[in-house]
């Protein structure tokens, strides 16, 4: 199958990574994949072995760039668009490509689109969303269920394959063999809930003598931004503030419990990585987080510091509970494997091509 993937995101966001993971996975399964990215996209740095990247020029040239990559013999192809600008354009391109390609649009955010017209356009054969809650948003603007498919995100095996043994990874974070480690992977955006996490750890965990060995590692942030809060809360010696790294698997492997304190999310890749690593989890009731954690963790209200602290204390105190959550995480992880996602999307592509009479 000839597949053109286009993203208008020029960052390393979870959505951009999902587009990359899809491009890599489809290519590995033998499809001809061309991945169109903005001029300033950093994605090639994350996948130097992938040869299907094409950098886009100005927006008024995007359509011509994709058409130039379509099969010259007239064989139908699939165009899969990620992110708002690409989806908007693909909605109208699809009307012109009716006899040469089907357009599949990807949406992973929960906010209601300001302009519903692209979602009503028959130029898009299928809409793929990453969660049921995201699907409900599009149903709310009148998107037909016939064109809507829910396909959970996935993370590739290399993202959950540690490069370091557990004890070595813990030493790299300043964690000793007797420390219980809560871990979080985030960024500096206030919506990620780092302030609430540090406060909950300081007020409900670190002050208890029986939990003296408890530690918290926050990965992916700028340490200088959070050191003042840790100092004010008297936990600077118990909170490890670690800059961004691509070897998240090793650091996840050193954790005892993963914590996602976000105030808003859709389907966070970091939580999927933690579940695939078999970690018991604590998360907030935002986006698809409750569905992901399901039987393998504890969910609390977003922004509720007391409830977050109580969940951390419960995880520390209840070893049998953690063991049950770990086993459940291993089972839940099957839902977020690349093979499951790729097989589902291949079926969606084939179904859309057949419906248009192109296969």
Could you give the angle at the alpha carbon of 98 between the alpha carbons of 92 and 104, nearest 5°? 65
Q: Are 259 and 282 spatial neighbours (Cβ–Cβ below 8 Å)?
A: yes
Give the total residue count for the chain.
Answer: 359
Domain boundaries, the chain: 2-154+337-355, 158-335
Topology given in CATH for the domain delimited by 158-335? Rossmann fold (3.40.50)
pLDDT digits (tens, 9 = 90+) for 132-188: 999 999 999 999 899 999 999 999 999 999 999 999 999 999 999 999 999 999 999
Question: Same fold for the domain at 2-154+337-355 and the one at 158-335?
Answer: yes
The whole model's pTM is what? 0.89
What order do you get walking across the sheet with 101-107 strand by strand?
A: 53-55, 32-37, 2-7, 77-82, 101-107, 126-129, 148-150
Confidence of residue 110 (pLDDT cuts 50, 70, 90): confident
Q: C-alpha distances in angstroms, 25 versus 19, 147, 165, 344?
A: 10, 23, 27, 12
Confidence of residue 359 (pLDDT cuts 50, 70, 90): confident
pLDDT value at residue 253 = 97
pLDDT digits (tens, 9 = 90+) for 48-78: 999 999 999 999 999 999 999 999 998 999 9
Topology given in CATH for the domain delimited by 2-154+337-355? Rossmann fold (3.40.50)
pLDDT value at residue 323 = 97
């Amino acid at each position: 199958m000839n597949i053109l993937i286009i993203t208008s995101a020029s960052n390393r966001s979870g959505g951009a990574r999902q587009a990359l993971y899809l491009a890599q996975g489809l290519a590995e399964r033998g499809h001809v994949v061309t991945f169109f990215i903005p001029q300033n996209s950093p994605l090639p740095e994350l996948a130097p072995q992938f040869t299907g990247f094409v950098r886009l020029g100005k927006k008024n040239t995007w359509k011509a760039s994709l058409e130039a990559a379509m099969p010259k013999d007239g064989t139908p192809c699939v165009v899969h668009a990620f992110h708002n600008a690409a989806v908007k354009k693909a909605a109208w391109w699809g009307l012109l490509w009716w006899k040469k390609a089907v357009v599949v649009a990807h949406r992973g955010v929960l906010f209601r689109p300001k302009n519903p017209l692209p979602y009503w356009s028959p130029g898009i054969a299928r809409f793929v969303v990453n969660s049921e809650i995201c699907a409900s948003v599009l149903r709310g603007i009148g998107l037909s269920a016939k064109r809507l498919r829910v396909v959970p995100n996935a993370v590739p095996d290399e993202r959950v394959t540690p490069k370091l043994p557990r004890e070595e990874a813990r030493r790299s974070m300043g964690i000793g063999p007797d420390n219980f480690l809560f871990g979080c992977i985030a960024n500096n955006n206030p919506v990620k809930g780092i302030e609430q996490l540090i406060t909950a750890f300081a007020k409900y965990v670190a002050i208890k003598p029986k939990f003296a060995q408890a530690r918290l590692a926050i990965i992916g942030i700028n340490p200088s931004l959070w050191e003042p809060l840790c100092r004010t809360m008297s936990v600077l010696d118990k909170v490890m503030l670690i800059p961004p790294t691509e070897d998240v698997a090793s650091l996840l492997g050193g954790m005892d419990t993963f914590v996602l304190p976000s105030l808003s999310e859709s389907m966070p890749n970091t939580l999927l990585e933690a579940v695939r690593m078999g970690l018991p989890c604590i998360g907030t009731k935002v986006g698809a987080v409750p569905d992901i954690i399901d039987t393998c963790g504890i969910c609390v209200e977003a922004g509720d510091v007391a409830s977050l602290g109580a969940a951390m204390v419960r995880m520390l105190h209840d070893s049998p509970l953690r063991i049950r959550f770990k086993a459940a995480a291993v089972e839940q992880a099957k839902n977020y494997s690349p093979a499951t996602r790729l097989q589902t999307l291949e079926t969606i592509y084939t179904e859309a091509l057949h419906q248009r009479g192109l296969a």
